[in-house]
Amino acid sequence: MSYILNILKVIIRKGPSVLKQVTGFVDHIPNLKSRLKVLSSSGFQNKDIHPGKVTLVGFGPGNPDLLTLGGDRALAQSDIIFHDDLLDIDYLKKYRAEKVYVGKRKGNHHIEQEEINRLLLHAAKAGKKVVRLKGGDPMIFAHGGEEVEYLERNLIPVEVIPGVSAGVAVSSLLKVPLTHRGISSSVAFISGHSKNVALPDADTLVIYMGGSNIRAIARKAIAQGRDHDIPVMLVHNLSLPGQQEFFFTLGELALNDQNFPTPVIIVMGEVVSFRNRSDSDASWNNRRDSLSTIHQYSDPINDKSLGHLTHTNLQRAITIGDTMEKPRRERGPVAAIKITVTGKKTKEAVKEYGS
């Protein structure tokens, strides 16, 4: 692309005489005529102007520690930074570049995407090193593809530096694997902007921008056959000091009319069971999960004080099963314990361990 761009600029600067000489050449190259017109109208004609470059940089989920070295380098070398609000604004003060806020939040678009595209183009035409800084990763629910397409169509060099997307960061920061052998072999990233969002048939769903529609999304998931007892995790201000976490079952969310703070990233699936939860966590008090205190026993199956176990959590059922040798499950108090199971996958796990 840069090689072709340089050839076109030389042709433009040489003037109409050269254009006439290459007319036949131009006719045989798709889109070349239109690109020549773009260059001519964008200020390259007969001027020694070199266009700048636009670099799309992913800032990550918000904590500056998660910004990549490549992203930091691009910011340090930039002349102007166009940024949104899903990041640590104070951190940007360390860079000498001009800062321009172009944030967009649901119901409050400071600047429309088309105008952002034009601002990037104008700055690049002026020969500036431009950074378009986005929360998360530039190419995941961030309009990065639209900006790349627009700029390259206008013959502006573009580079994209990946960032840590919130849907990936939430997994590591909260120690909730998005995939896990025997529990989740597929994961889907979806936008929750619309109440009519399509829910793929994946074991784990990671939902961006779904805070205001979570009740409708939960109802749709149940209507599509997902179990009421599937755990769901909502995280606000991921990786930042004010991070908040909310835990529910799918059935509880379908009936919940709570307004959650935004932005929020949502994880839906049995893998949420991996999250270590405090028994005093108010978010889980309404679960009435009788398994929530079982981890206090070193040997829950052979503890004679227990008469009834309720398996409502797939991972805990598996954990208990893994810690017991089969001969111990087949003798003594085992026969005296009544076991209740909720959830299809939890039932399958309990059967597998001979419970």
Active site residues: 84, 104, 209
CA distance 96 to 84: 18
* C-alpha dist (Å) from residue 262 to 66, 85, 208, 244, 256: 20, 12, 10, 10, 16
Closest alpha carbon to 97 in 64, 75, 116: 75
Max Cα-Cα span within the chain: 99
Q: Which residues contact residue 138 at a Cβ distance below 8 angstroms, ignoring those fewer than 6 apart?
A: 56, 57, 58, 132, 144, 160, 161, 162, 163
CA distance 169 to 136: 9
User: Do 56 and 160 meet the contact criterion of CB atoms below 8 Å apart?
Assistant: yes
DSSP-derived secondary structure letter, 294: G
The structure tokens 């005489």 sit at 17
CA distance 352 to 355: 8
CA distance 78 to 61: 21
* C-alpha dist (Å) from residue 337 to 128, 214, 304, 334, 345: 73, 38, 9, 5, 21
Q: β-pairing, 129-134 with 53-58?
A: parallel
The structure tokens 């070295």 sit at 69
* C-alpha dist (Å) from residue 209 to 33, 86, 109: 42, 12, 15
Q: Which two tokens stand for residue 145?
A: 């593809």
Q: β-pairing, 264-268 with 231-236?
A: antiparallel
Q: Cβ of 132: how many Cβ atoms within 10 Å?
A: 29
Q: Is 244 helix (H, G, I), strand (E, B) or coil?
A: strand
The C-alpha angle with vertex 305 and arms to 304 and 309, in degrees rounded to 5, equals 90
